[in-house]
Amino acid sequence: MPDSPLAHTVASLQSRARTELAELVAFKSVADPAQFPRSECEAAAEWVAGALRADGFTDVRLLDTPDGTQSVYGFLPGPAGAPTVLLYAHYDVQPPLDESAWISPPFELTERDGRWYGRGAADCKGGLIMHLTALRALREHGGVPVNVKVIVEGSEEQGTGGLERYAEAHPELLAADTVVIGDTGNFRVGLPTVTATLRGMTLVRVQVDTLAGNLHSGQFGGAAPDALAALIRVLDSLRSEDGSTTIDGLAADATWEGLQYPEEEFRQDAKVLDGVGLTGGGTVADRIWARPAVTVLGIDCPPVIGATPSVQAGARALVSLRVPPGTDAVKATELLTAHLENAAPWGARVSVEQIGQGQPFRADTGSPAYASMASAMREAYDGTEMQTSGMGGSIPLCNTLAALYPEAEILLIGLSEPEAQIHAVNESVSPQELERLSLAEALFLQRYAEQSAAAGS
């Protein structure tokens, strides 16, 4: 860390950051009432609103969005004539998956080996704490030099689009000169990175039906069409022999020209088992940032324990498709749906239901705000130059904001580096990254305000 008064202030705020992150991680804020009570998300939203009020935000609102979730909005006025910066994070989290596989409880922030473990620690409750820490540090050094809007989403992980539709219906609410999305991450720990592209996504549920009811496999097996076997064939058709995504009509040959991801580093980050090959062709960067990627997220079928000797009458799966920049997510959904329907064997009946969708995003990295961020990151990371990478994940709100505010500059930073293992068991955040990125954001706001004042003079 640099030796400056602002850096020392950010360092002094880390104890508070850990305490508040622990409070926020304790909420089981999975935005799916089938898994956790809605009250967990509501309590997390109230916590966020309370934190904003305590930090001097003058206009704090709980927004009831069309998908039935709540987002939290706050406004902090800055000096007269100052630009407005929108800071984004989300408080909803992925399900914990197999809780027994966690070394420590998923909703209890636990320090281990120099990292803080807990669901949402990096994605993206830590992102909110990063924003709050940066603003608190600035208040101790002359005040926050810009107008600040904060929006904390409640359903980003579900991809159900509530905040996007709310923003479209209230376009004045989130209007800003610059947007800082605190939901991506550094290419690796210690290497400051802004994200230039995001893949979009579509999420569908596919149902396969073949029989009026389950049948005894000894009496009917061999002639009765098995819905689970049909579903397996349908899902297998989504990949070629080398594992590349193959959806009829969907291009999958784009290349990535920027920062590359060495294969051995990727194998280590992804914890690929010895002897197991990577899927797809082209460079790793091509595969994870520039091309579509299909993933079967889950299958409904009898578990092994308790299964009976039956031919299955019906089976279903949840399928995710990541959509690269340059591809329309609506068109990709249509192609995926048609492919699934056409791939069914034996005349099996297939129905496809869209669950969520978000468009891909490409940032304008030549915009002036990027120069301010590059300078801020260089100082926060002791002279290390800012890198620009892609990200395979999706943040559907980005395209909505870009469409609503075409003049706004959008920057993507965050805490989700490879060691964080977001969306997996044992998610964690690096406290060092939290400290450095909080400082980088504080420095960015200072330099962006100075840049805007100079441009207006």
The tokens describing 406, both together, are 């075409």
Contact 437, 194 (CB under 8 A): no
Whether the bond into 41 is cis, omega within 30 of 0: no
Rounded Cα distance between 94 and 107, Å, is 11
Active site includes 92? yes
Rounded Cα distance between 37 and 32, Å, is 8
Question: Collapsing DSSP states into helix, strand and coil, what is residue 72?
Answer: strand
Q: What length is written for the chain?
A: 457
DSSP lists the bridge partners of residue 441 as: none
Question: Within 10 A of 192 (CB to CB), how many other CB atoms are there?
Answer: 23
Catalytic residue among 67, 153, 156, 177: 156
Element (H, E) at 275: none
Strand extents, DSSP E, 35-177: 59-64, 70-76, 84-90, 110-112, 115-117, 147-153
Residue 207 CA: distances (Å) to CA of 4, 156, 314, 404: 59, 25, 7, 36
The tokens describing 201, both together, are 């996504």
Question: Within 10 A of 53 (CB to CB), how many other CB atoms are there?
Answer: 13
Active site includes 409? no
For tokens 């709100």, the residue is: 397
Contact 232, 346 (CB under 8 A): no
Catalytic residue among 40, 67, 92, 153: 92
DSSP lists the bridge partners of residue 318 as: 205, 298
Largest CA distance in the chain: 86
- Euclidean distance between the first and the last CA atom of the chain, given in angstroms as a whole number: 33
Strand extents, DSSP E, 182-312: 193-198, 200-209, 215-216, 293-300, 310-311
Question: Within 10 A of 3 (CB to CB), how many other CB atoms are there?
Answer: 7
Radius of gyration, alpha carbons of the chain: 23
Element (H, E) at 157: none
Q: Would you name the residues annotated as active-site residues?
A: 92, 156
